[in-house]
Amino acid sequence: MFSKSTEYALRATIYIAQESSPEKKLSLNQIANAIDSPPSFTAKILQLLTKDNCVISSVRGPNGGFYITETAKQLPIRKVLEAMDEQDLFIKCILGLNNCSETKPCPMHYQYQPIKKQLIKLFESKTILQLADPSQPANFLVNNSL
């Protein structure tokens, strides 16, 4: 569905929204550890998410780290996809065509269109806050079959 980068970005954003606040910032290592991602690579991804403080905010120095504002929590999760430049989902069809439309449907158009609509609605309507429900257990680890 998504690239690894985008998966990490979504996990990181949700985790930060669950655990952080402007008073309680999270370090790179805390985040990478929690979402089971390589720290150095995660640093790059967090850089993209903090660009213009759009989704995630950050401060350097002691007691610095990453956090999210209450305002940013109200953003739809589509913002994460935008920050990661992963928008094929919204543009292309399931066969990879970008000119597939109602008037020029590809052979899978009528099968996939309703699903695509739901995917778009999910990312457009659900906010970061709504996914970061602290009453739910986080469960981010990929291989915790312990």
Partner DNA sequence: ATAATTAAGGACAAAAATACCTTTAATTGT
Partner DNA sequence: ACAATTAAAGGTATTTTTGTCCTTAATTAT
Q: Is the dihedral of CA 97, 49, 55, 26 positive or negative?
A: positive
Contact residue for its own copies among 7, 58, 82, 113 (CB under 8 A): 7
Q: Is 115 exposed, middle or buried (0-12, 13-18, 19+ CB in 10 A)?
A: exposed
Is residue 67 part of the contact set for DNA (CB under 7 A)? no
Residues in 14-33 at the binding interface with its own copies, rule: CB under 8 A: 14, 18
Structure-token pair, residue 130: 């709504």
Residue given tokens 């569905």 in the structure block = 1
Is residue 138 part of the contact set for its own copies (CB under 8 A)? yes
CA of residue 63 relative to chain centroid, distance: 25
Is residue 140 part of the contact set for its own copies (CB under 8 A)? yes
State the binding partner of 59 from its own copies, DNA, none, CB within 5 to 8 A by kind.
DNA
Residues in 49-78 at the binding interface with its own copies, rule: CB under 8 A: none
